[in-house]
Structure 1
């Protein structure tokens, strides 16, 4: 009977397309992963991969074997993880992806309380503003907004993802009289460029009454990060369109204020993403429930809402 190590090496190599990447995910050497896969092929009597210097490609037999074992292997892994507990507590390494600034401001402060409640869990948290391949890269969960929902992944809404217009009080003293989006065409705009596409998105503004109006700001500068845009606006350089969570610390120290406070951009939701399993690992369930509990206790849903 095959051991878990050889089968997992095969599955992760198929997902990653290389022994080196599979080894990184499994904390093994590429040679060890290659040896596990070669041993599995020898015992099965079939070739599972076509090997080249650039990439691994599944053979027809490899594709069939992957389809048959991957789902069952995940169920077995989750069952083992749920049973491997210390006094009934979830255990294991919890691999989570989140945005750099959002994670530092709102998720990292939860770490001490989370680990105190679940001492058997080890945090492996990755900070990146790009969407990750949750299943392919072996993440237990991810937090973010505007992500495409791939097959096998579910999302739990944490808060609305609203963007708002902000400026330093001294900028508004010099450029007052802004009462409607039509008044923004001559203002100095600090615009956000997508780090994924490199383009500045054309956002429509929404009024509290759901009336919509185009956003026309004269581009003074572009940024790829809301935190950087807040810092530029704080210097009185213009009006920035930023995500509400990043603006809150500036509001608290009164260095930024909202411009056209009845208007905002609706950018969907901030959500918790995790793989859909019939038997969700205890560590993942504990994290999901804890974050939802803390967002509710701290009123972050309401604080992140621009309405």
Structure 2
């Protein structure tokens, strides 16, 4: 494959009929231009110019080459320049996958600050409840849990994924509060059926002393989305086992209260995924640093810990 420098030297020489003028336009020496053109001719095995002491003229092969690359060279140079700029400055489309509830509540509010610092970034954020293939699907980054780590994919933990039992005050009115997770069985349960497996997941909870106990929720209301579970609980339909980040705003408002405090289920970690630590595009590096700094600054890992009660 011919180098861009050789092709550019050829095109500018063809436009101006002179190595000297091409050199002046490209800020090179005439000898460098002549050498690049000679290298191109040697690689192609044809003469591209008729040379005289006064002017260069294209051979038939040279004219064919000029016509073939005339409308492509500028586009190629622009594309390379764009990549070069993005390598030093955060710019371009930033494709990110996020869980709908978590992404909307806790990551989307970070976007105005990110764009204020990096105005050349164009966010394309997909809110979806599924583990994506980061590389195959062309994502720059993803936030979630339980992703399979393909070779070269980095997982950076943001916070724990702890599950807690919650219900609305209106539902609990007049009811005896359970003393431990086993007591949840006496209450109506709001559970979720997995879109991926078709199964309803039941959790084992633990406390800060390390004891474990099953949390056997009755399947009174079945939904297939975490935000629907939360809203059903807010409506007073029963008890839901929710991830702390999904429940936190409703808990802060008093729309939900936590049952069996200090008991929680551990669903792993909420992580930030991206491909490779080396040659990371500036836009991806900016996003990774912005999110991790925000989580650290606001102590989100501590706020999302189920052991906090």
How many residues are treated as equivalent by the alignment?
A: 232
Quickly say closer, same or farther: Cα 1:213–1:279, change in 2 above 3 A. Answer: same
Quickly say closer, same or farther: Cα 1:220–1:167, change in 2 above 3 A. Answer: same
Q: Is structure 2 residue 109 aligned with structure 1 residue 109? A: yes
**Deviation of 1:179 (Å):** 0.6
Contact persistence 1:193–1:201 (CA under 8 A): yes
Contact persistence 2:164–2:244 (CA under 8 A): yes
Report the counterpart of residue 239 of structure 2 in structure 1: 239
User: What runs of 5+ residues in structure 2 fail to find an aligned partner?
Assistant: 5-79
Alignment of structure 1 residues 67-216 onto 2, 5 Å? 83-85=84-86, 88-216=88-216
SS of the residue 1:213 aligns to: strand
Quickly say closer, same or farther: Cα 1:135–1:224, change in 2 above 3 A. Answer: same
**Deviation of 1:306 (Å):** 0.9
Deviations 1:185-242 (A, max 9, x none): 2211111221211111131111111111111112101122221111111121111001
**Deviation of 1:261 (Å):** 0.8
**Deviation of 1:155 (Å):** 0.3
Hey, what's the Cα distance between the residues in 2 that align with 1:81 and 1:163? 45
Q: Which runs of 4+ in 1 moved over 4 A?
A: 79-82
**Deviation of 1:111 (Å):** 0.9
**Deviation of 1:103 (Å):** 1.2
Contact persistence 2:134–2:274 (CA under 8 A): yes
Contact persistence 2:86–2:283 (CA under 8 A): no
Normalised TM-score (structure 1): 0.71
Contact persistence 2:202–2:217 (CA under 8 A): no
SS of the residue 1:84 aligns to: helix
Quickly say closer, same or farther: Cα 1:188–1:3, change in 2 above 3 A. Answer: farther
SS of the residue 1:174 aligns to: coil
**Deviation of 1:83 (Å):** 3.0
Normalised TM-score (structure 2): 0.71
Quickly say closer, same or farther: Cα 1:245–1:81, change in 2 above 3 A. Answer: farther
Q: Is structure 2 residue 304 aligned with structure 1 residue 304? A: yes
User: What runs of 5+ residues in structure 1 fail to find an aligned partner?
Assistant: 5-78
SS of the residue 1:208 aligns to: coil
